[in-house]
Amino acid sequence: MENFTFFNPTRIEFGTGKEQLIGRHLAEHGVKKVLLCYGSERIKREGLFDLVSKSLSEKGISLVELGGIVSNPVISKVREGIALARTQQVDAILSVGGGSVLDSAKAIAAGVPYAGDVWDLFAGKARIASALPLFAILTLAATGSEMNPSSVVTNDETREKFFIASTALFPKVSIVNPALMQGVTRDYLAYSAADVIAHLIEAYFTATVHPRLQSRLVESLLNTIIETTEALLADPADYDARAQFAWAATLALNGLSYSGAAGFSYPNHAIEHSLSALFNVPHGAGLSVVVPAWMKWYQERNPAQFTRFARNVFGVDTGEQGIAALEAWFAKIGTPTRLGQLGIREADLPATVDNVLGNLRVFGIADSYPREAVVAILTNAL
């Protein structure tokens, strides 16, 4: 087991009705005026916006709206949010939505007190010294952003999808009410499952040190995601399944699953970020294509862990069977497993590989993934 620091000060308020107390949480942090970030107008149609507005106004907190944040969120929208937050002199950011809204909110929170252009923070040209306090009401469980200090945003000019991380970006309070997620489509549920599974397997397979305790925790979360995704596809109103799915998604990327592991990396995310940056595919759909392709390429580098995965997650005997079982499961729940299903053709590979090589440098693993490796992995996904 490697040395590590575990520090996660986010307060999770989990369960039904918790969003009704958002005003109280902001008031406890002294917030007077907040930038409310959201995506589509769905939160207005379904009443969540009114409920949040009412809770805020009861505590004398005024709000400024920033709607229209899209999946695979873009830095141009973040810049718009920073300008608005400055003009309106808000003292906190509130995200109401899924991971894309929350990651945009984090970038805005970091960008407001930074004098230069916010992309500098993503490009490694400047460090995050401080951020506005951040709060979240989650409406889609997938990214884990509600209990971690990271944000991923795409530069819509350069088509780079990069990330930032800073302890200043832990949400102060994240409200996770599974009932708010009941309207998630079958497609997005499947993409979300693929995203969570990808978060869990990156360190599980790539770490040079991965103690059995951590492997067991990861397998507990993997088995929960698989079981509850199937339950939700059978019955979208199954609150308990949705709740376990949501909490497993949070725990998958809050530091727990890789504490004490060492030498791990995020190759699947590095590769997928190029697919969503270049072709604007849903992140989870990209991951369900990349993960099996990467596993087939990587397996021989850590065969014992692939056998362990096969046995403890799918109840099959060999590493190959485990990969095949995961790929078949992705297909069964309705998330893509081939680049063609994303509309990406063989002719698109050269430009994709170039973008992936840039991401691999950002992720610090360019040496382990030379061009021919990336070509081999993407070819596995054709």
- What is the C-alpha separation between 310 and 316, in angstroms, rounded? 5
- Cβ proximity of 98 and 142 under 8 Å: yes
* Contact status: 224 vs its own copies (CB under 8 A): yes
Interface stretch with its own copies, choices 216-224, 303-311, 333-341, 342-350 (CB under 8 A): 216-224
Residue 221 binds its own copies, judged by CB under 8 A? yes
The two tokens of residue 312 are 């403890």
| Interacting residues with its own copies between 135 and 194 (CB under 8 A) | 178
Strands 173-176 and 134-138: parallel
Binder among 211, 279, 316, 320 for its own copies (CB under 8 A): 211
Minimum distance, C-beta of residue 155 to its own copies, in the bound complex (Å) = 33
Counting residues that bind its own copies (by CB under 8 A) gives: 40
Burial class (CB in 10 A: 0-12, 13-18, 19+), 76: middle
Q: Near its own copies by CB under 8 A, which window of 78-86, 190-198, 236-244, 336-344?
A: 236-244
Of 213, 328, 351, 382, which lies in the binding site for its own copies, with binding defined by CB under 8 A? 213
Under the binding rule (CB under 8 A), the answer on residue 248 touching its own copies is yes
**Whole-number Å distance between alpha carbons of 51 and 39:** 16
CA distance 279 to 348: 10
Decide whether 133 or 282 has the Cβ nearer to its own copies.
133
Regarding 114 and contact with its own copies (CB under 8 A), the answer is no
* Tokens found for residue 323: 């990969």
CA gap 96, 44 in Å, rounded:
11
Which residues are bridge partners to 138 per DSSP?
97, 176
In the bound state with its own copies, the residue whose beta carbon lies nearer, of 15 and 67, is 15
DSSP secondary-structure letter at 147? G
Give yes or no for residue 208 binding its own copies (CB under 8 A).
no
CB neighbour list of residue 29: distance below 8 Å, 6 or more residues apart = 92, 133, 135, 172, 173
Taking CB under 8 A as the rule, does residue 124 contact its own copies? no
- C-beta closer to its own copies: residue 14 or 279: 14
The single residue among 259, 318, 321, 368 that binds its own copies, judged by CB under 8 A, is 259
Residues that bind its own copies (CB under 8 A): 1-18, 178, 211-213, 216-217, 219-221, 223-224, 227, 239-240, 243-244, 247-248, 251, 256, 259-260
